[in-house]
Amino acid sequence: MGSNLCVEPLEASFGARVTGLSLTDASDAAFKELYRLWLEYALLIFPAQHMAPEDQVIFARRFGGLEIELAALSNLRGDGSVRDDVPEDEMMQILKGNMGWHADSTYMPVQAKGAVFSAHRTPRTGGATAWADMGAAYAALAPGMRARIEGLAAHHSLIHSQTKIGHAARPAGESEGTRNADDYNGYGFHDDPPPLRALIKVHPETGQPGLLIGRHAFGIPGLAPAESEALLDELIDFACQPPRIYEHDWAAGDTVVWDNRCLLHRGRPWDMAEPRVMYHSRIAGDPVTESAMPS
């Protein structure tokens, strides 16, 4: 990959900072090594890449097909003005919801494989992104808790998780033709039965077991609603603790890629009167390994 490449493990149970390589110019051999590092570390941080959106899509496609080519996660409207922080603005509600621990697309029939995320405008303070290592969390569980959750599953729903923060999300079919270009597009607000996913997920490429939990998870079959919620909250509280978490303070130009099959992530608060513009490319999951369980 070149003599200038430097891989610095983070002060966490996962993740590495990688420098000395331009992602837009990476050779096939270089990308093969990057993919190996990605499986090893789950989170790779590439400072000062300053990737154009079209280059980000090209880079993301090297990991596989894309579920979402490019989405702006931004508190700016198309005309550059800052959005109003009001309940009626669905994009602002999505940004706030994303501040809870989650994995991407667990509420869809096929869970995402991973994501490429880049920073284009950042606020003066706040607005970091945090990740949590679900493989290390599972390994640290007490034997009694492992036995308790073995064989359990939970439903996953974006409407459910958004409703919990006070967002009256509408199924996409109920709002066709009522959104304009500045609105959230309704992705994930489907009215199909919520997918069912095992609480213990085995990573399809590394073979490592990990927890599959997060804000979209609810309604463990066989448990009363209150018991299910208490168990899921207990797992999140235990899992998302040092040294299993890392929080990245963004600088414009940073790009990261993470493995959605073994990490949770969340956004951190900032003064939403200040612009924050991020671009997200979501790598599609393999239907063989990432499909939901039969209900």
Q: What is the residue range of 51's domain?
A: 6-286
Is position 221 within any domain? yes
Q: What pTM did the predictor assign?
A: 0.95
> The domain spanning residue 130 has which CATH number?
3.60.130.10
Q: Which of 108, 114, 104, 136 is nearest to 208 (CA)?
A: 136
Is position 292 within any domain? no
3-class DSSP state of 137: helix
Is position 222 within any domain? yes
Q: If you average pLDDT over every residue of the chain, what do you get?
A: 94
Is position 1 within any domain? no
pLDDT surpassing 60 at residue 177: no
| % of residues, the chain, pLDDT over 90 | 88
Task: Give the CA count within 13 Å in the CB-facing half-sphere of 7.
Answer: 15
Which DSSP state fits 2?
A: -
The per-residue pLDDT for range 63-121, each reduced to its tens digit, is: 999 999 999 999 999 899 999 888 888 899 999 999 999 999 999 999 999 999 999 99
Is position 294 within any domain? no
Choice among 42-46, 175-179, 253-257, 272-276 with the minimum mean pLDDT:
175-179
Q: Give yes or no for a contact between 253 and 119, defined as CB atoms under 8 angstroms apart.
A: yes
Is position 295 within any domain? no
Is position 265 within any domain? yes
What is the identity of the amino acid at 35? Y
3-class DSSP state of 200: strand
Q: Give yes or no for a contact between 18 and 44, defined as CB atoms under 8 angstroms apart.
A: yes
pLDDT surpassing 50 at residue 1: no
Is position 272 within any domain? yes
Q: How many domains does the chain have?
A: 1
